[in-house]
Structure 1
């Protein structure tokens, strides 16, 4: 990582509440508390790592307001409201330095079909294909080998990373970020059994992705059978997620890796689906509901619910069941002993 920040520059970025100590070293790297060396910056984002702060060799440490320890010589503690947010702000600046967007323009190897409209401030990378009727908005950056289909629309300030595919008629609003190999607008999985054969049901809807959505590498968002599949403002979707046709996802949801959402399911705002969650089709997950890792739901989930397991069970009940499950061998042994005692008493 080829970076260099002075402590003054870091303070300008993270806007500290206060500082303790000082260091003369510039920050040239970012590392965890346990791995950081002199010249590195680290942070305390999870309270479980609090004991590691006193031992860290980092030159600069981002800490929450309730941390009361003192720095070592040539070490600076920067006190902020939320260290995780502060490190994200700093990493955003690092990202700009490491991977700056190229100057506006179209690479000579890109294919821009007649009738496509590419803003003068946008950049189109090598070997991209932009089909007729597609629109690329202001300052949007399309990296190498991306495909934008006929009449697709990409708004302003989007970042489409290498190898992503945006199929015909699909729409990305503003500041959408797609990681590599995302597919937006693949056909929904729709078939009808006719005379012993699975006949394909045409998928003639589209996908609409609202402002400030990010979609992780390898995720797939199917186009609707009709109407639209929709991803709400501010929602973040992790790697290798499958969103089926006609799914509607609300605002500011989190959908973690390897989750699958079946067709025509609705997620209201602020829903969290942890890793490998599975949702059946045609159900509604209420606002603010949380399904923990590997949970499954085949029916509606109430707003604010926290579910665990498959089928999804209220979190604390599932925790109790898991504890009792571990005691099953003991319970069976007790039942067996009681049966022996009963038989012995009956025969006496």
Structure 2
């Protein structure tokens, strides 16, 4: 795709400078640009690699003439502008229009207008797929699943039966949507139930046999949701597991059965949410966060990396650590922990002094 600097600035709703007729076909870091690529130097610390005659995206307040540029676009919010820029130049996956002859589609399935379905895709009975869907190779979609318009499903995705997903859904390679929930029960009280009741004391260790609880619920996904590579979303036991509109899942995220995730949440890599927990809207869980089962997390909560959440978190709180506490509390805990070696040394010296005094006494 090729745009002029002027056209690109208009598309990004940004201000341009210099020669607006220069053609842009892509973007690169300063010092790594080739012909017709625009350099991304959206802070002064990134501008050192700029070369004379380059075209670049700069932050407001930077002087293009100082760097010898021929053209520039100014970013008021650099990462937001980068979102528009990368969208403009992303060619997307190569999925041929129409239905590939190796695809297997049940006669009862409904495929929307303008859909592109790649090689070796398998679509089950009573599936409904919206208009302009793009489905890459080796995807399988189970019976009765309903998928909205303008979705992008990448290679090797597995979508089970009875899934409902909205418009503009993006699913990265290898994700599994609608696998069975991890639900098992024992005839007698299990060891897990016992230690929850006794808070760790074990009286009745012995044989126990796990019996499967089947997953009769489905998965419901809103509009504009993205699911990363290798992520899994379990179906509900009776009611559906739900993910709200606008929510984004990174790679290797696991959503357990019956979980409800609100709108516009951000769940980073290796987050795990155990069964029947509920997340409000705009929740951010950084990488490797874990949420125990049946936990409620309020709106606008932010959890730092590797936080482990075992109890309810009220709306708006920022938490960190294992177990999760307020971030400022965790920072004080970390400071105190670093002081422990000095405190231990001083305590040893005090003990030695007291012992000597007692011996003299």
Whether these two folds match at TM > 0.5 is: yes
Task: Say whether residues 1:342 and 2:340 are aligned partners.
Answer: no
2:67 match: secondary structure:
coil
Task: Say whether residues 1:221 and 2:233 are aligned partners.
Answer: yes
Which residue of the partner structure matches residue 123 of structure 1?
A: 116
Task: Say whether residues 1:161 and 2:159 are aligned partners.
Answer: no
Kept after mapping to 2: 8 A contact 1:166/1:185:
yes
Farther-moved stretch of structure 1 (73-82 vs 170-179): 73-82
Q: How does 1:27-66 map to 2 (within 5 A)?
A: 27-33=24-30, 35-36=32-33, 39-44=36-41, 50-57=44-51, 59-66=54-61
Kept after mapping to 2: 8 A contact 1:153/1:172:
yes
Which residue of the partner structure matches residue 180 of structure 2?
A: 187
C-alpha displacement at 1:23, in angstroms?
8.4
Kept after mapping to 2: 8 A contact 1:7/1:26:
yes
Separation of aligned partners in 1, 2:47 and 2:231 = 37
- Size of the aligned set, in residue pairs, is 340
Which of 283, 306, 321 aligns to 1:294? It is 306
Which residue of the partner structure matches residue 165 of structure 2?
A: 172
Which residue of the partner structure matches residue 71 of structure 2?
A: 76
Which residue of the partner structure matches residue 203 of structure 2?
A: none
Separation of aligned partners in 2, 1:120 and 1:28 = 31
Which residue of the partner structure matches residue 249 of structure 2?
A: 237
What do you get for the CA RMSD once the two structures are aligned?
Answer: 2.2
Separation of aligned partners in 2, 1:119 and 1:52 = 46
Kept after mapping to 2: 8 A contact 1:152/1:169:
yes
Q: How does 1:11-30 map to 2 (within 5 A)?
A: 11-19=9-17, 21-22=18-19, 26-30=23-27
TM norm structure 1: 0.91
Separation of aligned partners in 2, 1:57 and 1:98 = 30
Which of 4, 15, 27 aligns to 1:6? It is 4
Kept after mapping to 2: 8 A contact 1:189/1:244:
yes
Farther-moved stretch of structure 1 (112-121 vs 198-207): 112-121
The one-character-per-residue Cα deviations of 1:264-304 (angstroms, maximum 9, x if unpaired) are: 00000000000000000001111000011000001111111
Cα 1:57–1:200 change in 2 (3 A) is farther
C-alpha displacement at 1:50, in angstroms?
3.2
Separation of aligned partners in 2, 1:321 and 1:44 = 39
**Unmatched segments (≥5 aa) in structure 2:** 189-207
Kept after mapping to 2: 8 A contact 1:15/1:80:
no
Kept after mapping to 2: 8 A contact 1:264/1:281:
yes
Separation of aligned partners in 2, 1:183 and 1:202 = 18
Kept after mapping to 2: 8 A contact 1:23/1:74:
no
C-alpha displacement at 1:13, in angstroms?
2.2
C-alpha displacement at 1:347, in angstroms?
2.5
Which of 122, 145, 150 aligns to 2:138? It is 145
